[in-house]
Amino acid sequence: METISENRCFDGTQGVYRHASEATGTDMTFGLFLPAEAEDGPVPVLWYLSGLTCTHANAMEKAGAQQWAAEQGIALVFPDTSPRGAGVPDDPAYDLGQGAGFYLNAVQDPWAEHFQMWSYITEELPQALFHRFALDEERQAITGHSMGGHGALTIAMHHPDRFASVSAFAPICNPMESDWGQKQFTAYLGSNTALWEAHDASVLMRERGFAGPILIDTGTADQFGDLLRTEVLAEAMAARRQHATLRLQPGYDHSYWFVSSFMEDHVTFHAEALYGVRT
């Protein structure tokens, strides 16, 4: 693993690292914030999955999460959103290809060779992190924004024993019925919609739910509101009697100004679950 940079940040360290990934067949870059407590032993981990067009750097630099994570003694992981490189297939559209991995394992050409983001996020990167850094594998939570919110919710519902809590900022809630989903699922997974269901948060909520608490924030002025289909997930949560909080924030859009405005709430929410007490 190559260290690209390490900077002092709120008495901890904000690092950027690169490693060779077997899952994607490429080099992958990620950010990792370690609070000061990591100098004394393993700390809880909050995963942050980013949205369309983002790299590891967007949330790392814009979300303002490090201040709140430092107060709670929690590490932050900022993975990339897709494989990248000259040999990796891409598409001229912003919502397919590089920067748009959708946190799934592609089975269709030309994407299948490299676009194995589900395996990378759920298996390979955790193994690399827990081997190298002072992180507590038994205390993990996950969050994300937009496409990353979709990824956080679907990954958490598939791994309820791994994550104490899950939250999302303006997640894509029902991709099977959205242009942010149908296009990508067809390209990556093909026309068999049975494969799509495993990556739709609303379907998963109806089928299995989540054992821990859920927090979702979406802005009422979100310019992509029709694509998110928040109301479908809300209906699924209500039907299942899921322990969850879904907040529609007046006047907020889809930007990182929105994310940073409620980041403290989300970090505190996860700290409560990770430590078992309100902090």
Catalytic residue numbers? 146, 222, 254
Query: How would you classify the pairing of strands 163-169 and 75-78?
Result: unpaired
CB within 8 A of 267, min separation 6: which ones?
46, 65, 68, 69, 71, 72, 74
Peptide bond preceding 110 in cis form (omega within 30 of 0):
yes
The residue among 21, 157, 160 whose CA lies nearest residue 79 is: 21
Angstrom distance (rounded) from CA 128 to CA 75: 15
Distance CA(119)–CA(113), nearest Å, equals 12
Cα dihedral angle (74, 115, 19, 126), rounded to 10 degrees?
30
**CA 245 to chain CA mean position, Å:** 18
Q: Give me 279's structure tokens.
A: 């902090």
Half-sphere exposure of residue 104: CA atoms within 13 angstroms, side-chain side? 29
| CB contact at 8 A, 202 and 149 | no
Question: Nearest CA to 59 among 1, 16, 5?
Answer: 16
Q: Show the tokens assigned to 110.
A: 């030309």
